[in-house]
Chains A and B, each alone.
Chain A
Amino acid sequence: MSPAPDALQRRHRFQWWELLPWATGLAMFFAFPNYLSFGTQLLVTILFALSLDLVLGYAGIVTLGHAAFFCVGAYTVGILAQQLGWNEPLSGLVAAGLAAGIVGLISGFVLLRTHGLTLLMVTLCTMTLLEQAANMGHAWTGGFDGMPGLSFTMILGLFPFDVLYFKSQYLYSLSVLALGFVVVRTLVYSSFGQSLTGIRENLLRMHAVGAPVRGRLIVAYGISAALAGVAGGLFTQVTGYVNLAVLGLERAAGVMIILILGGHGRLYGAFVGAVAYLVLEHLLAKAYPTAWQLGLGLTLVAVALFARGGLIGLFEKLRGAR
């Protein structure tokens, strides 16, 4: 189905249905008070997936190393809290975003000289190097054991972290996700976002219209890294620990699977994909405790073959066919 002729002029306007994910998020808070720990993890995962969507879905940068920025954010907050006694949560998140953003800009400057399979490999290698660095820097990072038992001051000086029921953490994460979403939404609908889509669609043409392609990609990579860093910092704050698991391949691949399931380059793909992934994981693990990943793999094959735009793409296709 073709977009309406004035779709470009209207697409940045908020639609009524865009309230649904946020209303659902708030409803969860009241309806499932015993699952707020799980809900908080889900919100952090969505923010992380959203950060990847900016580079993967919109700019077409295929990377397996995005967990590196999540790790930088997570360890920044952890090190600040444990080594320097900086336990204020909001400024901790800002520091996490800044640190990951700077690492993103520097690594993007080097890594984005490559593309395709080479980029995939070097981003993966970068993540492994960082994992080893975190392991070796025991004095600062806690090495393999990480940094358990971190504590943080009250959010805005008003809301204490609720280690038992995660109430504050949940609402705090929902607020940070909303802020991150507004940033990504503003970016992708801007001229900058449009040019990123242009780069994804046709690199040769973008050069031929005089766009500073590499510069744009590095900036997008840096912003995306900063958001991933905020997600990592949030993870450390809400769980109260950080260890090498934040850098695992499982996290890096998992967030990509989430986008493939939900639909990359579609803003809400991260939301739908994260929920679908976790529900699928839960159901499959219940049905086949020893082989649930096989089911996940088969689902991914089916999505790749029959629903390239993920669940949102499938929905759009069905709506268009009506």
Chain B
Amino acid sequence: MLETRGLCKNFGALEVAREVNFRLELGARHALIGPNGAGKTTFVNLLTGVLAPSRGSILLEGEDVTALAQAKRVKRGIARTFQINQLFRGLTVQENVCIAVSERLGVGGAMLRSAGQRADVLAEAARLIEMLKLGNDTGRRIIELPYGRQRLVEIAIALGLSPRVLLLDEPAAGIPSAETHILLDAIATLPKDIAVLIIAHDMDRVFRFAERITVLVSGAVFAEGTPQEIAANREVRAVYLGSALDA
């Protein structure tokens, strides 16, 4: 589905991605873990086109998308959430989700009809808002919402793009533990043909969610395998997991 071959990214002498060979299979539930500064978010930025790689290639369903702009990759089905919320803070929850849905349906540039008359956009936005239990916040501006609720809007926007590949960068960060089930339920109900890559620090959540895990250290793939294989890998434990699993 999504593949990288020898992906490298340098900022001057600093190598933040080193020969990353990675495969995200159709319908995968894949986790990307690693210590702080391992290059996880940089990797997502490379996949989505926010950053251009120094070397290597990115393939989506066998087609080279390395040179494609971010917007065009979104149209091909790659959507993401951000580690730190990137929302339209002065707009309502409904407007936030509608903007994403409008772009997906190709009506984002329509000038003659009011956004409030787009029944298809409004219905899809309402479905996603309900799915993420944001119904009571539909008309509230983002700045009026607690951070945890804002995280859910971030997910709703990504889902509004109907992605085939969904990249979730620390999706549960900032969501109160009592509400994380909303997020997990939403992910669990995603169609099986959507490939999901999740970056998370909560090992318990990673091991429950992921069918496959890639460990990134210093910008390079350190290990990859099933959760059981990663948990049993002594080097991974030494580098990263030790304290988390022992606890």
Q: A7-B139, A9-B117, A219-B109 are in contact. List 13 more A-B contacts (CB 8 A).
A: A190-B111, A191-B102, A191-B118, A192-B110, A194-B108, A197-B90, A198-B91, A201-B89, A201-B90, A208-B50, A210-B103, A211-B99, A211-B103
Decide: A208 near B75, CB < 8 A? Known: A191-B110, A191-B118, A201-B91.
Answer: no
A192-B111 in contact (CB<8A): yes
Residue contact A205 to B92, C-beta cutoff 8 Å: no
Q: Which residues of B contact A7 (CB under 8 A)?
A: 92, 139
Restricting to A1-37, which residues have a CB under 8 Å from any CB of B? Answer: 2-12
B117-A209 in contact (CB<8A) = no
Determine if A193 is an interface residue (Cβ-Cβ < 8 Å): yes
From A2, A198, A206, A212, residue with most partner B Cβ within 10 Å? A198
Tell me the residues in window 191-223 of chain A with beta carbons closer than 8 Å to chain B beta carbons. Answer: 191-195, 197-198, 201-202, 204-213, 215-216, 219
Most buried by B among A3, A186, A205, A219: A205
Which B residues are CB-close (under 8 A) to A3? 92, 139, 141
**Looking across the interface, which residue of chain B has its beta carbon closest to that of A5?**
B139
Enumerate chain B interface residues (CB-CB to A < 8 A). 48, 50, 70-75, 79-80, 82, 86-92, 94-95, 98-100, 102-104, 107-118, 121-122, 138-141, 144, 157, 160-161
CA distance A5 to B126 in the complex (A): 11
Q: B76: nearest residue on chain A (CB-CB)?
A: A210
CB distance from B122 to the nearest CB of A (A): 7
Q: Evaluate contact between B157 and A209: CB separation under 8 angstroms.
A: yes
CA distance A136 to B114 in the complex (A): 45
B115 proximity list for chain A (CB < 8 A): 8, 12, 189-191, 193-194
A190 closest partner in B (C-beta): B111
A-B CB contact pairs (8 Å), 21 listed: A2-B139, A8-B95, A8-B116, A9-B117, A186-B112, A189-B116, A190-B111, A190-B112, A190-B113, A190-B115, A191-B102, A191-B115, A194-B98, A197-B90, A205-B157, A208-B48, A208-B86, A209-B99, A209-B104, A210-B71, A211-B99
Bound Cα distance A219, B111 (Å):
11
Closest beta carbon of chain B to A70's beta carbon, Å: 23
B94: which A residues are within 8 A, CB to CB? Answer: 5, 8
- Residues of A within 8 Å of B138, CB to CB, are 5
* Complex CA distance for A187 and B157, rounded to whole angstroms: 23
**Residues in A23-65 with C-beta less than 8 Å from chain B:** none
B69 to nearest A CB, angstroms? 8
Question: Which residues does chain A contribute within 8 Å of B70, judged by CB atoms?
Answer: 207-208, 210
How many cross-chain pairs have Cβ atoms below 8 Å apart between A and B? 134
Q: Using Cβ atoms and an 8 Å threshold, which residues of chain B touch A195?
A: 99, 102-103, 108-109
Contact status A209-B109, CB under 8 Å = no
Contact B88 A205 (CB under 8 A): yes
B86 near A205: Cβ-Cβ < 8 Å? yes
Q: Are B71 and A213 in contact (CB under 8 A)?
A: yes
Chain B hits for A10, CB < 8 A: 116
Decide: A2 near B140, CB < 8 A? Known: A190-B114, A209-B99. Answer: yes
A205 to B103, CA, bound (A): 12
Contact A191 B109 (CB under 8 A): yes
Q: In the assembly, what is the distance between CA of A321 and CA of B114, in Å?
A: 29
Q: Which residues of B contact A2 (CB under 8 A)?
A: 92, 139-141, 144
Measured between beta carbons, the chain B residues less than 8 angstroms from A206 are: 99
- A191 surroundings in chain B (CB, below 8 A): 102, 107-111, 113, 115, 118, 121
Q: Are A12 and B139 in contact (CB under 8 A)?
A: no
How many Å lie between the Cα of A211 and that of B86 in the bound state? 15
- By the criterion CB–CB under 8 Å, are A192 and B109 in contact? yes
Chain A hits for B72, CB < 8 A = 210
How distant is the Cα of A6 from the Cα of B157 in the complex, in angstroms? Answer: 19
Contacting residues, chain A, for B140 (C-beta < 8 A) = 2
B residues in contact with A4, CB < 8 Å: 139
- B residues near A201, Cβ cutoff 8 Å: 88-91
In the complex, what residues of A have CB within 8 A of residue B108's CB?
Answer: 191-192, 194-195, 211, 216
Q: Please judge, given known A-B contacts A8-B116, A10-B116, A190-B115, whether A209 and B139 are in contact too, CB under 8 Å.
A: no
CB pair A210–B75 under 8 Å, yes or no, is yes
B136, closest chain A residue (CB): A5
**Structural contact, A198 and B111, CB atoms closer than 8 A:** no
What is the distance, in angstroms, from A263's C-beta to the closest C-beta of chain B? Answer: 14
A108 to chain B, nearest CB (A): 15
- In the bound complex, residues from chain B placing their C-beta under 8 Å from that of A202 are 86-89
Interchain nearest-CB distance for B214 vs A (Å): 22
The CA of A186 and the CA of B140, in the complex, are separated in Å by 24
B113 touches A205 (CB 8 A): no
